[in-house]
A and B are shown apart, each in its own frame.
Chain A
Amino acid sequence: MRMAEYIIIGNGVAAIGCIEGIRSVDKTSSITVISEEQYPVYGRPLISYYLEGKTTLDKMNYRKPDFYESNGCRVLYGKRAERIDKDEKNVLLDDGTALPYTSVCVATGSTPFTPSIKGLETVQSKFSFMTLDDSLSLEKALNKDSRVLIVGAGLIGLKCAEGISKRVGSITVCDLATRVLSSILDNECAALMQARLEENGIRFMLEDTVTEFNGNKATMKSGASVEFDILVMAVGVRANTALVKELGGEVNRGILVNEQMQTSLSNIYAAGDCTEGMDTSLGERRVLAILPNAYMQGHTAGVNMTGGRELFDKAIPMNSIGFFGLHAITAGSYFGTDEGGEMYEERGDGTLKRLFTKDGVLTGFILIGQVERAGIYTSLIREKVPLDSINFDILKKNPTLFAYSQNQRRKMLGGVV
């Protein structure tokens, strides 16, 4: 076999999936990873747990220290891929080097989006919350008296709030949305999470945002003003699509990929937060910026780059997020009755379960507080298991394999899966 030259742009979890995918087929060809960040791969979501003291720098490595070496990868740290030359089949770096490739995987992730707000440049101490460096510089800037203003009540803003809550004086979170975590929770579920955050001292200003900054003062849309020492901007992220877009590749909110993670350009693949693929629970394309997705897309890209074949055709949104001991697990899509969907609901003391069904399959769920064995539900969504092939009445009450037929269960528990 002719030796291939694989290039992976980016060094996040999608890149690791890609390396492992390539090496599951091709043990020898060269792999070069271009890493803008100076670190070996770390679990990006851990940056808040680091500030919270739940992990340490040496435990944040996503893979063992010898990972790249034992997989025969060359990593170029602190280098940026500026352009792909698809005619010459080169990747051009910021230092002028041209690296030849036989196939390339764009695994560039996303960048925090900064809205243009009047006076933002007058704020001295402002941060994003995406990278380990962001987390380390935020840590340097904060002290026990800091008043922190976080713009954005999504997953990233709130994880940041939880991470620093015991280390600062006060935290205010504002968001234009009417609820926290608006992309994954409905009103009532969001209210439960918000209450837990508030019990832990975090103050919210919802349906409100900053219209102007003046040094340490923010003037809000509501007319209120907030004084702060540290500003964290967590409004949202944008997929890094430029490398493919400027070549004329198909791009929407993310780089468009098929089930083999091919872009519209030959020998150019893409994986992770920079892509837009099919959300099978919704039946539409979406950017699914979650870590499991990044790994699985990367792996699929890697296998296909070698000429092997693997499909990733079960992507759904799924999140597990907890604040101060209250866990929320969500997956799939929630269709309203007007869209032909149905909802099953159970409430307990501080717990809430909502299962969404449509056309005879489970399409989504929200579990708050009581989340044990949630994966049994997730699997029904991913596999589109017809609900009439199992005992859904049992399953509604409890995620248990008892809802499956004896035969199905024998395959699950009596064979290799």
Chain B
Amino acid sequence: MKRVYVNEKWCLGCHLCEYNCAFANSGKKDMVDALKGKPIFPRIHIEGNEKISYAVSCRHCEDPMCVKSCIAGAISREDGVIHIDQSKCVGCYTCILVCPYGALATNADGVMQKCELCLQNSCGAPACVVGCPNNAIVYEERGDENG
């Protein structure tokens, strides 16, 4: 299945992916209207320092700890994609306790969210990937080992 992968050699640390993600999931048509002057809640995060940086988002794990641990059964795996049913989430943070990648965080309303590969919004392809100026994030099929 296709997943989001990063190549930290290419990452400029420009944080554009964070903005594109927040916009893609805002449901708004206009980026300024969606983001300007507001705290943003992206599902992808840049980590690192001035020299090394890279984006982290949900790995859509083969053996997902979040799915096995959610107390509400709100996280499920459908065709390999790990999905949160936000209407079932009660905000217990058990998924934050178990995700080894730190890939989940709450949205503006305190409900849990994470990368869903832009399959739940109207983008069609992950907005972080499409907008990355240096191809440091890609959306592709890879095998079990590094491809």
Which A residues are within 8 Å of any B CB, using their own CB?
Answer: 17, 43-46, 49, 54-55, 59-63, 291-292, 295-296, 299, 318-322, 327, 329, 331, 371-376, 378-379, 399-402, 406, 409-417
Contact = CB atoms under 8 A, between A and B. Distances in A.
Interface residues of B, number: 42
B7 A414 contact: yes
Contact of B71 (A43, A410, A416): A43
B91 A322 contact: yes
Nearest to A159: B92
B102 A399 contact: yes
29 contacts: A17-B68, A43-B71, A46-B72, A46-B90, A49-B90, A59-B72, A61-B73, A291-B69, A291-B71, A320-B92, A322-B91, A327-B93, A329-B97, A373-B102, A373-B105, A374-B96, A375-B65, A375-B95, A375-B98, A376-B100, A401-B56, A401-B101, A401-B102, A402-B48, A409-B8, A413-B8, A415-B145, A416-B144, A417-B61
A59 B87 contact: yes
Given A59-B87, A296-B68, A416 B101 contact: no
B105 to A, nearest CB: 6
Contacts of B145: 415
Interface string B10-46: 0000000000000000000000000000000000000
Contacts of A292: 65, 68-69, 94, 98
A413 B91 contact: no
Given A59-B88, A322-B93, A378-B97, A416 B102 contact: no
Describe A's contact surface by its main secondary structure. Answer: mixed
A299 B62 contact: no
Contacts of A318: 97-98
B59 A412 contact: yes
A375 B101 CA distance: 7
A402 B147 contact: no
Contacts of B95: 375
Contact of B102 (A49, A296, A400): A400
B97 A375 contact: yes
B71 to A, nearest CB: 4
A406 B11 CA distance: 14
A413 B56 contact: yes
B120 interface: no
A414 B6 contact: yes
Nearest to A325: B110
Contacts of B8: 406, 409-410, 413
Interface of B: 3, 5-8, 47-49, 52, 54, 56, 59, 61-62, 65, 68-69, 71-73, 87-88, 90-102, 105, 142-147
A415 B88 contact: no
B102 A413 contact: no
A327 B106 CA distance: 13
Contact of A409 (B54, B92, B105): B54
Given A402-B49, A414-B5, A415-B146, A62 B93 contact: no
Contacts of A322: 91-93
Contacts of B144: 415-416
A340 to B, nearest CB: 26
Contacts of B6: 413-414
B63 to A, nearest CB: 8
A396 to B, nearest CB: 15
B96 A299 contact: no
A351 to B, nearest CB: 14
Contacts of B143: 415-416
Contacts of A329: 93, 96-97
A43 B89 CA distance: 11
A374 B48 CA distance: 18
Contacts of A49: 90, 92
- The 4 nearest A-B residue pairs measured at CB: A373-B102, A379-B100, A62-B73, A292-B69
Contacts of B142: 414-416
Given A46-B90, A400-B47, A375 B71 contact: no
Contact of B101 (A43, A320, A412): A412
Contacts of B49: 402
Contacts of A375: 65, 95-102
Given A55-B72, A412-B101, 6 more contacts: A46-B90, A318-B98, A375-B99, A375-B102, A401-B56, A416-B142
A412 B69 CA distance: 20
A299 B102 CA distance: 24
B68 A295 contact: yes
A292 B72 CA distance: 11
